[in-house]
C-alpha cells in the first residue's frame, strides 16, 4: 500500500527513519512494561562524503545497499534494521543480552569490512562506525535519550578512526551512604582528613579512582569499547 511504501527507504529496502522512530517508541514501551531490555545500534558509513566526491553517486548507493545487506543477514527476526539518513542506519534489538550485542557488533564490523565497493573500476574499502546504547529500562526512560547516547558513541567511534564500535554500559545508580549525625561523627585523626562514611585518605583516593570511566579502545581487530558514562537526554540525532 501507499502507507507501507511511505515507511520504506527505496535505495536500501529497509524501513526508513519514520518507521524506525515509531517502532522504537513501541519497543521501549514494551520493554518498560515487561522489565525487558532494549539495545540500539547507531551506524554510519565511514568517509561517505569522500566516497561520493571521488567516485560519485553510484558508488555511494552501492555502499548503502552493501551495508543494508550485511545488517539484514546479521539480525534476528525480531530485530529491526532501518536506514535513518544518507549514510546512517540503526538497529533495535529487544531482549538481547550483552554477549549477544557484542558478538553482533563485531560481526557487522567484520562483514562490512569484507565488502568491496567499486569506483571507476577499482575496489573501494567499506567500513562503518557503530555506537551502541544499552540503557537500564524503566518507565522514565525516553527513546530520545537512547538515541542520543548511541549517536554520541558513534561519533566517538568515528573520531577514533572508524571501523570500530563504542559500547556503553549503563551506569550504576548513585546510592547515598547512611551518614552519621553530627553527634556521632568521630573526631578527625591527627594529621588526617575525616569525612563521614570514609575512614582514611587512601580510601578517598581509591574512591575517586573508582569513579573514573573505564574506557577500552577497540576496533575491527579487538572487540568492543565499554564506555561507562551516564546516559543523557537529547532530541533525535537523525539528520542527513
- Residue 69 to residues 7, 65, 82: CA-CA distances in angstroms? 18, 6, 11
Residues of the chain with pLDDT > 90, as a percent, come to 60
User: What count of Cα atoms within 13 Å lies in the side-chain half-sphere of residue 56?
Assistant: 5
Mean pLDDT check: name the lowest of 117-121, 148-152, 163-167, 221-225. 221-225
Question: Residue 234: pLDDT above 70?
Answer: no
Q: How many CB atoms lie within 10 A of CB 15?
A: 22
Over 60: is that where the pLDDT of 240 sits?
A: no
Q: Is the pLDDT of residue 113 over 70?
A: yes
Q: Grid cell 539480525 — which residue?
A: 75
DSSP H stretches of helix in the chain: 2-5, 17-33, 48-55, 57-74, 98-113, 143-159, 201-210
pLDDT (tens digit per residue) in 122-164: 778 899 999 999 999 999 999 999 999 999 999 999 999 999 9
Give the tens place of pLDDT for each residue, 180-193.
444 444 444 444 33
Least confident among 19-23, 154-158, 204-208, 216-220: 204-208
Q: Say whether pLDDT at 214 is over 70.
A: no
Report the pLDDT value the prediction gives residue 196, as an integer from 0 to 100.
33
Q: What is the pLDDT of residue 236?
A: 42
pTM of the model: 0.70
Distance of alpha carbon 101 from its chain centroid, rounded? 10
Stretch 54-66: mean pLDDT: 92
Q: What is the DSSP letter of 76?
A: -
DSSP for 32-74, please give it: HHTT--EEEEEEEETTHHHHHHHH-HHHHHHHHHHHHHHHHHH
pLDDT of residue 31: 96
Amino acid at each position: 500500500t501507499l502507507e507501507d511504501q511511505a515507511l520504506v527507504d527505496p535505495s536500501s529496502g529497509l524501513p526508513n527513519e519514520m518507521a524506525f522512530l515509531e517502532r522504537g517508541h513501541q519497543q521501549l514501551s514494551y520493554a518498560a512494561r515487561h522489565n525487558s531490555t532494549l539495545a540500539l545500534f547507531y551506524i554510519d558509513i565511514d568517509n561517505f562524503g569522500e566516497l561520493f566526491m571521488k567516485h560519485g553517486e553510484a558508488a555511494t548507493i552501492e555502499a548503502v545497499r552493501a551495508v543494508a545487506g550485511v545488517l539484514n543477514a546479521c539480525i534476528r527476526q525480531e530485530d529491526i534494521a532501518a536506514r535513518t539518513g544518507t549514510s546512517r542506519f540503526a538497529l533495535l534489538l529487544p531482549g538481547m543480552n550483552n554477549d549477544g550485542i557484542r558478538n553482533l557488533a563485531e560481526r557487522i564490523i567484520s562483514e562490512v569490512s569484507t565488502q568491496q565497493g567499486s569506483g571507476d573500476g577499482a575496489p573501494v574499502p567499506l567500513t562503518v562506525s557503530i555506537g551502541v546504547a544499552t540503557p537500564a529500562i524503566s518507565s522514565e526512560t525516553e527513546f530520545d535519550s537512547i538515541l542520543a547516547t548511541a549517536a554520541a558513541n558513534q561519533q566517538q567511534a568515528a573520531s577514533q578512526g572508524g571501523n570500530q564500535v563504542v559500547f556503553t554500559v549503563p551506569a550504576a545508580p548513585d546510592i547515598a551512604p547512611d551518614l552519621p549525625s553530627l553527634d556521632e561523627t568521630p573526631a578527625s585523626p591527627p594529621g588526617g582528613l575525616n569525612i563521614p562514611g570514609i575512614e582514611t585518605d587512601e580510601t578517598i583516593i581509591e574512591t575517586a579512582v573508582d569513579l573514573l570511566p573505564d574506557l577500552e579502545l577497540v576496533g575491527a581487530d579487538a572487540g568492543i569499547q565499554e564506555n561507562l558514562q551516564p546516559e543523557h537526554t537529547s532530541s533525535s540525532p537523525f539528520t542527513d
